[in-house]
Amino acid sequence: MGDPMGGWSLTVALCTMVVQARGGAQRAQRRDGERERKRFSALEREKDIKRERGQWRRGKEPNGDEASNDRERMALSGVLGEEEMIKGIRRRMEIERKRDGTLAGSAGIKKENEERDLGSDVLVHVRADLFVNARSWERARVALNTAGPLKLQCRYLRVEEISVSSIRTLLDLLPRQGLQGIDVRYSSLGVAGLAELLPLLSAFPALNSLRLHYCNLDFRRDHPGQEEALRDLSQGLAQLQELRRLSLTALRLPGQLRVLLSSLPQPLEIVELPYLSLSPADLAYLSCSHHASTLQQLDLSENRLDENTLPSIRRLLSQASSSLQHLSLSGCGLNDSLMALLLPSLGGCWALKSLALALNPLSMSGLMDLVRMAAQMPSLRQLLYPNPLEDYQPGLPDRPSSAQLLDWPLDETTDINMTSSQLNRVLIDSGRTDLFLTCDLLNYDKDLVD
């Protein structure tokens, strides 16, 4: 999963191995089958001899009632036991033929049947994180359908640019136990598509993480059926008993957060809602919700905050102050005066390990206040700070957006390192050697802290 380019090809390689292992097992089975066929003809011959003997004893043709009497006699003498064995062998050969057919054709025997028939053939359960996109989809489908010595299990499933019906097929094939998370990206689900998938997800008892990125879930009041679809969504989420992590990126669902999150049976520990156009009502709900006091990770980056929403953020931080370990408020439009209002709440988060505040329009003095506060936070190990406005080339708009802060060129003539050494001086003066300061947005990784 780490390498986004290699992810799908690793999945292809793994799935190929699962299918090949089955091929090897089949060749071995065919050799066994050959031996059984020989044994079968030997038994047939023996049966013929015995029947001839019986005829010779009675001197009659064995037909009609005679034949059934004959069978009864044979049963008494133990011959039927042999017949039944022969039937058993025939049945096994039929099953084998059917299995071969399954691999060649696309129609599969029902999965449950396969599991029952072949469950005992599994030698190794392969538990993997799978990355399924258009390139790995077919191979993953075949591998999940393959019952052989290697049984493919999935821990985290990531799907990219895959249709609702393909995701549905995939979920039908996945073993129920063991799936812990699903991550859907760049798939045009729509609200209705997601509502259709959620009941399938509730069949996975260990599922604790659901992440949706750019899944075209925009809520449009003017579209017919959207309210119902949203209700379905809420009911579907209510079925996810073990959900602890919910990530929704770049949805347009302003004002709908309550509908989505209030139905969840358990409080969430990880909430990621970047680029969500959260409304003041959404943030107010979140700060009073049953999730607030259990939050360990919160990402609200790229949601614009102002004087009206800041009280909700402050309430949220105070609720989460003893649990919150990772917080991102990058690109939230926090200027000096908003940051000054927020600092006491941030400082109260004594469990916080990482704090990301990139792409906020702070001046050098606002930034110094931030770092002085950070130096007092005992658990903090990483701070991603914004380039101060003074480090940009002239001409930056008055209230720059995060996109402008990202694209606007930094001033080459000022020593960029001066800001960094000035900030680090604060840390040295406070005796903090365990806190890492960086403005390198692209290489920042909060998970390095853990």
Ligand X SMILES: *[C@@H]1O[C@H](CO)[C@@H](O)[C@H](O)[C@H]1NC(C)=O
Closest to 209 in 3D by CA, of 129, 275, 132, 123: 129
3-state secondary structure of 338: helix
User: Closer CB to ligand X, residue 208 or residue 309?
Assistant: 309
User: Closer CB to ligand X, residue 106 or residue 417?
Assistant: 417
User: Closer CB to ligand X, residue 193 or residue 333?
Assistant: 333
User: Closer CB to ligand X, residue 161 or residue 336?
Assistant: 336
User: Closer CB to ligand X, residue 142 or residue 338?
Assistant: 338
User: Closer CB to ligand X, residue 167 or residue 362?
Assistant: 362
Helices (H), 119-189: 137-145, 164-173
Radius of gyration from C-alpha coordinates of the chain: 33
Q: To the nearest whole angstrom, how small is the minimum distance from the Cβ of residue 275 to ligand X?
A: 18
Q: To the nearest whole angstrom, how small is the minimum distance from the Cβ of residue 393 to ligand X?
A: 17
Strands (E), 97-168: 124-132, 150-160
Phi, psi of 327 (to 5 degrees): -135, 135
Q: How many helices (H) and strands (E) does the chain have?
A: 15, 11
What is the C-alpha to C-alpha distance for residues 236 and 260, in angstroms, rounded to an integer?
10
3-state secondary structure of 111: helix
Q: To the nearest whole angstrom, how small is the minimum distance from the Cβ of residue 421 to ligand X?
A: 9
3-state secondary structure of 246: strand
β-bridge partners, 159: 132, 184
Q: To the nearest whole angstrom, how small is the minimum distance from the Cβ of residue 384 to ligand X?
A: 17
Q: To the nearest whole angstrom, how small is the minimum distance from the Cβ of residue 341 to ligand X?
A: 10
In b/e form, how buried is each residue of 132-156, taking b as 16+ CB within 10 angstroms? bbeebbebbbbbbbbbbbbbbebeb
**Is the torsion defined by CA of 3, 8, 9, 10 positive or negative?**
positive
Helices (H), 185-309: 190-201, 226-238, 257-261, 280-288
User: Closer CB to ligand X, residue 241 or residue 337?
Assistant: 337
3-state secondary structure of 83: helix
The residues that touch ligand X, with contacts defined as CB under 6 A, are 306-307, 333, 335-338, 415, 417
Residue type, 90: R
Closest to 271 in 3D by CA, of 238, 293, 239: 293
Q: To the nearest whole angstrom, how small is the minimum distance from the Cβ of residue 306 to ligand X?
A: 4
Residues 6+ apart with CB under 8 A from 195: 229, 232, 233, 236
Q: To the nearest whole angstrom, how small is the minimum distance from the Cβ of residue 335 to ligand X?
A: 4
Residues 6+ apart with CB under 8 A from 311: none
Phi, psi of 279 (to 5 degrees): -95, 165
Q: To the nearest whole angstrom, how small is the minimum distance from the Cβ of residue 391 to ligand X?
A: 13
Q: To the nearest whole angstrom, how small is the minimum distance from the Cβ of residue 361 to ligand X?
A: 8
Q: To the nearest whole angstrom, how small is the minimum distance from the Cβ of residue 343 to ligand X?
A: 14
User: Closer CB to ligand X, residue 45 or residue 304?
Assistant: 304
User: Closer CB to ligand X, residue 242 or residue 336?
Assistant: 336
288, 315 Cβ separation under 8 angstroms: yes
User: Closer CB to ligand X, residue 292 or residue 310?
Assistant: 310
102, 94 Cβ separation under 8 angstroms: no
β-bridge partners, 410: 392
What is the C-alpha to C-alpha distance for residues 178 and 119, in angstroms, rounded to an integer?
17
User: Closer CB to ligand X, residue 148 or residue 400?
Assistant: 400
